[in-house]
Amino acid sequence: MQRRRSWAEPFKIKMVEPLRMTTRAQREAAIEEAGFNTFLLRSRDVYIDLLTDSGTAAMSDRQWAGMMLGDEAYAGSENFYHLEDAVRHVYGYKHVIPTHQGRGAEHILSRMCIKPGDFIPGNMYFTTTKAHQELAGGRFVDVIHDRAHDSTLEHPFKGDIDLAKLTSLIDRVGAGKIPYLCVQCNVNMAGGQPISLANLREVSALCRRHGIRVFLDATRAAENAYFIQQREPGCAGRSIRDILLEICSLSDGCTCSAKKDALVNIGGFLCLNDDALAEEARNMVVLYEGLHTYGGLAGRDMEAMAIGIEESVEQDHMKARIGQVTYLGEALMREGVPIVKPIGGHGIFLDAARFLPHIPREQFPAQALACALYVDSGVRAMERGAVSAGRNPDTGQNIFPKLELVRLTLPRRVYTQAHMDVAAESVIELFRNAPKVVGLRFTFEPKHLRFFQARFAPVTGARVLLTEDADAPVSRCCCGAGGCRENG
């Protein structure tokens, strides 16, 4: 019988960045100063930064070496051609247009394709994507399968599109009003949940029949390809690279933030197969980003991206990346902490509505939980609930999505297993003392993408977020929410 062996990251650490430890009193002052918004904290006040996996990866020695080969010519930089080759090789599209980051590509695609009054279906909204669709005069329509909205439901492909919802939209508004379907890989706001190849094939065929284009948000498409390899029948023997090529072949192009899968600190790209559309995009990129051979990036950034793209589809890299997320998720599940299931790709999503059932949705439990976690241990997380969802453009009312989540997002190749243990201990401690956390109200609300810059205050009028008078620790029932049958 073969002995079971542990495995470890496929790299060793060559350079370290010291972390600063803070006291609880310092963190209480810092979060108050930041208007109870973790985006407004100074990074020097953060111990373990799980705010985002965007632009936070540790680059490899090969990528750093590539930075030294930056060809900083205004036009025709050699690094652009390396990037173009890497994107064509790994994603398989014909035209590659670099942008400063993902939203640069989203801006150009939305402006080119969307007319006022159009509808853009997608498998759950993403904040910047939806904002650009709305700025272009369009309306986002969620066509993700309902199971994505249930954090407790275990399904291997919660990113799948509901064909009935898509068909009903086409019947209602007509294909002429749908410029494209936006398919997000490893759906961020659903908990990093993948879409299956089987679903993508069906969706792509349906759109082709109606003459509707399909554009991917390929930001985490390599992670999605890994889940397909691990979970989809018939795909176990295929490489991540091969699956990713098939995913992309089912679309007409993509927008991509290279700050995630592609292991760089800045960068993005827009890919198109249609020659005329690509010509229009190249013309537009000079207005908003920079010449079409640099798109707002330095030559060195494009070189690092070209190398990162190739590294992102390596099996050992991806196994370690997803393995670390799973490690953290399993530590929390063992203690009954309510998280989105199954464990997704880029982070662990705490179900704040079940974690803090005493805080009404109008008092933004996920925002409060992210702040409380920071105060407890210096771990920085991000709200992914009603604050992120914003307001209904017609009624001006707050949107309350079914999922009210806090995302513990794991930067790639940055933290160790011990950091995961510290983060887990803090979340578990907070879970046991949950009734101490109080809700929040807005004191300042920006017009666009409010979660980035909004400011809040505790509803109690106090300066602190954690009360001392609530009974703690609490005993909980098996579902973690106090509402299961076993507990009456």
Active-site annotation, residues? 74, 126-127, 217, 260, 384, 451
Q: Which residue intervals of 136-220 are DSSP H helices?
A: 163-173, 197-210
Token pair for 215: 């554009």
Question: By CB neighbour count within 10 A (0-12 exposed, 13-18 middle, 19+ buried), where does 280 fall?
Answer: middle
# residues contacting ligand PM9 (CB under 6 A)? 16
**What is the nearest approach in angstroms of ligand PM9 to the Cβ of residue 481?**
26
CA distance 382 to 52: 7
Place of tokens 């407004």: 40
Nearer to ligand PM9, 144 or 481 (CB): 144
| Binding letters toward ligand PM9, positions 244-263, x by CB under 6 A | -------------x-x----
Among residues 215, 219, 262, which one has the least CA distance to residue 109? 215
**What is the nearest approach in angstroms of ligand PM9 to the Cβ of residue 230?**
20
Of 114-122, 125-133, 201-209, 325-333: span binding ligand PM9 (CB under 6 A): 125-133
Nearer to ligand PM9, 22 or 219 (CB): 219
Subset of 31-70 contacting ligand PM9 (CB under 6 A): 52, 54
| Binding letters toward ligand PM9, positions 217-236, x by CB under 6 A | x-x-----------------
By CB under 6 A, residue 82 contacts ligand PM9: no
**What is the nearest approach in angstroms of ligand PM9 to the Cβ of residue 159?**
11
What distance, in Å, lies between the first and last C-alpha atoms of the chain?
46
Residue by residue, DSSP assigns 265-326 as: SS-EEEEES-HHHHHHHHHHHHHHT--TTTTT--HHHHHHHHHHHHHHT-HHHHHHHHHHHH
Of 26-34, 95-103, 425-433, 474-482: span binding ligand PM9 (CB under 6 A): 95-103
Three-class secondary structure of residue 437 per DSSP: strand
**What is the nearest approach in angstroms of ligand PM9 to the Cβ of residue 66?**
20
Of 42-50, 70-78, 124-132, 418-426: span binding ligand PM9 (CB under 6 A): 124-132
Of 97-105, 300-308, 418-426, 463-471: span binding ligand PM9 (CB under 6 A): 97-105
Phi, psi of 483 (to 5 degrees): -120, 15
One of 126, 157, 294, 374 touching ligand PM9 (CB under 6 A): 126
The H-or-E segment that residue 62 falls in is: helix 61-67
DSSP state of 68: T
Among residues 431, 454, 455, 406, which one has the least CA distance to residue 189? 406
Nearer to ligand PM9, 80 or 126 (CB): 126
Interaction site with ligand PM9 (CB under 6 A)? 52, 54, 101-103, 126-129, 184, 188, 217, 219, 257, 259, 268
